[in-house]
Amino acid sequence: MLVVLAAALVPLVLLALWLARASGRAGETLLTARLDAAVLSAANEAGVRWVEHRSALLDLAEANEVRRALGDTASAGSAPTVLPAVVRLAIVRDATGAVRWTRAADTTTAAGGVYRSVLTLWSRRAGHAIGTMEAVLPGSAIVRATGATGGTTLAAFDRRTGVPLLTTPFDPDLARNATFNWNGERWLVARRTLDEPAIEVVAAAPVADYEAPFADAARRGLVALLIVAMLSTIATVVLTRRLTRALGDLALAADAVSRGEMGRTVPVQGSEELGRLAEAFNTMSESLRRTLDSLARRESLAAVGEFAASLSHEVRNPLTALRIDLQRVEEKLDVESPLRAPLRRALRAVDRMQHTVSGALRVARSGRVERMPVDLLVPLDAALHASEPELQSAGARVEVDTGDVPLVVMGDAAALEQLFLNLLLNAAQAFDAPGGVVRVHAGADANHARIEVEDSGRGMSPETLAAAFEPFVTTRAQGTGLGLAIARRIAAAHGGELSLESAPGIGTTAAVTIPRAT
């Protein structure tokens, strides 16, 4: 009896204790991701609001009353200059630092700190600096604490003066650390710095609220194991020799689980105690298998990232040599040679591969993309050309409706091309027979650009659609299961999102929405 109990239960108890310890780390990881998302959202909103406030300050700097105070121009009227609603105090000084004009708002300063913005004023006639304008704004006008959700507290600091801009329930200086203790709880902190305005946005939340669900699940698992142990003990004592084989099977299955064979199950015989024990063991084994599979996917994804960085580094050198050789061949060819056209296409393909590899290496190292103004139609057109052989091989007809109006966003052209290429290749692989249609549509509203890739392929079931973005999940024998996961990560890195709509036998529509450049 002791041998059977030890073989069946001890490994499971040890695994339960390990999962209980890992629950704390899982809660902290989840909280870190939530805080990163919250501080990124708050920083983006602060940047948008600052653009509006700075525009109002520039208008104030050009007011005739301000200019007349500096002796730059004559006033066109006698009406007093009105401060923008968000400004609490404005002070204009000449080039020597003497105060020439000042105006304070009548309203009471909001709770929290203030942010001081200094603008250089230039002469309208001579074009040189004639003074400065210092404007005092409440911190809450730039960063709004109401944007935080789920127990998250937002804080902000003026990077030049270190002054806290928002009122927080705890001492704002605590938020300058990566983690701190307050009110008997440990808090995690995420931060993001902005150059314009020169502030640091911070999001903080207590860890306990996120660790509690995982700890509760671990406790329930431990209780389930104790119940299994009790049932095993009763079954070992009461059951007769006819159950010896079933007990042996259970012991063997427990040994297999302890060795990592999480798919191992035991046959359920009858509805008595041992049968229920077998059902409980199979349920527990399946639950553990799903948990460990999820952990293995994450570790595999990290390994793929390291492999991608190494592969990108190794591929760039032969690409450079190949480009140099092609350029030498181009120099030797006659101007009218018919080989120049395919040679130029090969050079362009090498350049595109170099950009893609460099972008992959950069993302593998930093997890970010370099942002610059990009017309989405350019990487989309490049992706259409790159996917053309795959679409032709599938016998699919491509219908493109992008218009001729640029859709400018802030992003990385190579990464965006990879995003669209993944969607187009998925569309090409969705057909079971020639004759399908792939429709590409581009449009925009005032704030966002939207690219849709629609196919009339086999579509996806609700279960497949729910797991479509999980790494290494694929329905194709030769698929890696990384295409949509990478595409979604690229969209998120650009501040956008990737969504899927699909129905079996009808087709799939992938929509990419990215904020337009201001």
Contact 516, 448 (CB under 8 A): yes
Q: What is the pLDDT of residue 364?
A: 47
* Residue 299 to residue 344: CA distance in whole angstroms: 41
Contact 284, 265 (CB under 8 A): no
Q: What is the pLDDT of residue 298?
A: 62
DSSP at 435: -
Segment holding 251, helix H or strand E: helix 244-258
Angle at 471 between CA 468 and CA 476, to 5 degrees: 60
Q: What is the pLDDT of residue 376?
A: 92
Q: Which residues of the chain fall short of a pLDDT of 50?
A: 76-77, 364
Segment holding 497, helix H or strand E: strand 497-503
In the chain the domains, ranked by start, together with CATH numbers, are 77-209 (no CATH), 368-515 (3.30.565.10)
